[in-house]
C-alpha cells in the first residue's frame, strides 16, 4: 500500500473487545487507525458512536469507517443518516467486498454478537482490500446520493 488509508473505528459497549482486536489487525496491515469508541464496558448508546465515526468519514478526517454494535444494524442506521455515508452491515466477506466494489461503501458495520473474531477479520480484510469498480455502478451510487437531497 503506497499511501496509508485512514480508518476510523467505533462501537458501543457490546463490541469493545472485537473493535480493539480489529483496530490492531488493521494497524498491523499498515493503515492509520483512529479508534474513537468507548474504552470501558459501561452501557452506552450506539447512535452517538455511529454518528461520530460517520462524521469523521464525511468530513474527510478518515477515508473509511468500521463500526460495531451487537448486531451491526443499529449503529449502521445511525451512520447512514449522515450525508455522504454509505454504510453496509456485513456478516460475511462476499458482501463486504461487494459493498465496496458495487456500492462504493465508505463504512462497514459488523455485529459483534453475530460473527466471531476470525470471521470479523475476514470481513474487514475483504472490505479494505476491495476498490470501487465505477462504470454502471457509479450511476447507481449517484442515484443513491440523489436521495440525500
**Hey, is 84 helix, strand or coil?**
coil
**For the residues 137-141, what does the mean pLDDT come to?**
94
pTM of the model: 0.95
Residue 87 domain-assigned? yes
For cell 451487537, the residue is 70
Between CA 33 and CA 5, with CA 91 as vertex, the angle to 5 degrees is: 20
User: Annotation-wise, does 35 bind a ligand?
Assistant: no
**For the residues 90-101, what does the mean pLDDT come to?**
98
Please report the pLDDT score of residue 149 as a whole number: 79
Within 10 Å of residue 74's Cβ, how many Cβ atoms? 20
User: Annotation-wise, does 71 bind a ligand?
Assistant: yes
**For the residues 49-68, what does the mean pLDDT come to?**
98
Mean pLDDT of the chain: 96
Please report the pLDDT score of residue 22 as a whole number: 98
User: Annotation-wise, does 136 bind a ligand?
Assistant: yes
Residues 38, 13 contacting (CB under 8 angstroms): yes
Confidence of residue 66 (pLDDT cuts 50, 70, 90): very high
Residue 48 domain-assigned? yes
User: Annotation-wise, does 73 bind a ligand?
Assistant: yes
Residues 95, 79 contacting (CB under 8 angstroms): no
Residue 30 domain-assigned? yes
Q: What is the CATH number of the domain that holds 62?
A: 3.40.1400.10
Please report the pLDDT score of residue 1 as a whole number: 40
**For the residues 115-120, what does the mean pLDDT come to?**
98
Within 10 Å of residue 35's Cβ, how many Cβ atoms? 21
Its domain, for residue 42, covers 6-148
User: Annotation-wise, does 45 bind a ligand?
Assistant: no
Residue 1 domain-assigned? no
Domain count, the chain: 1
Residue 96 domain-assigned? yes
Residue 114 domain-assigned? yes
Residue 78 domain-assigned? yes
Residues serving a catalytic function are 69, 102
First and final CA of the chain: distance in angstroms? 35
Does the pLDDT at position 4 exceed 80? no
User: Annotation-wise, does 74 bind a ligand?
Assistant: yes
Residues 25, 123 contacting (CB under 8 angstroms): no
Does the pLDDT at position 86 exceed 80? yes
In sequence order, the β-bridge partners of residue 139 are none
Amino acid at each position: 500500500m503506497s499511501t496509508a488509508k485512514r480508518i476510523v473505528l467505533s462501537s458501543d459497549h457490546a463490541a469493545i473487545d472485537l473493535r480493539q482486536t480489529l483496530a490492531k489487525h488493521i494497524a498491523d496491515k499498515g493503515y492509520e487507525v483512529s479508534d474513537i469508541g468507548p474504552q470501558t464496558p459501561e452501557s452506552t448508546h450506539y447512535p452517538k458512536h455511529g454518528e461520530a465515526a460517520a462524521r469523521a468519514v464525511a468530513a474527510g478526517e478518515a477515508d473509511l469507517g468500521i463500526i460495531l454494535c451487537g448486531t451491526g444494524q443499529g449503529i449502521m442506521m445511525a451512520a447512514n443518516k449522515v450525508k455522504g455515508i454509505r454504510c453496509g452491515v456485513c456478516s460475511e466477506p462476499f458482501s463486504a467486498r461487494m459493498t465496496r466494489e458495487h456500492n462504493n461503501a465508505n463504512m462497514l458495520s459488523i455485529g459483534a454478537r453475530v460473527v466471531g473474531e476470525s470471521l470479523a477479520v475476514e470481513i474487514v480484510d475483504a472490505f479494505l482490500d476491495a476498490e470501487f469498480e465505477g462504470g454502471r455502478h457509479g450511476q447507481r451510487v449517484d442515484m443513491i446520493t440523489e436521495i440525500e437531497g
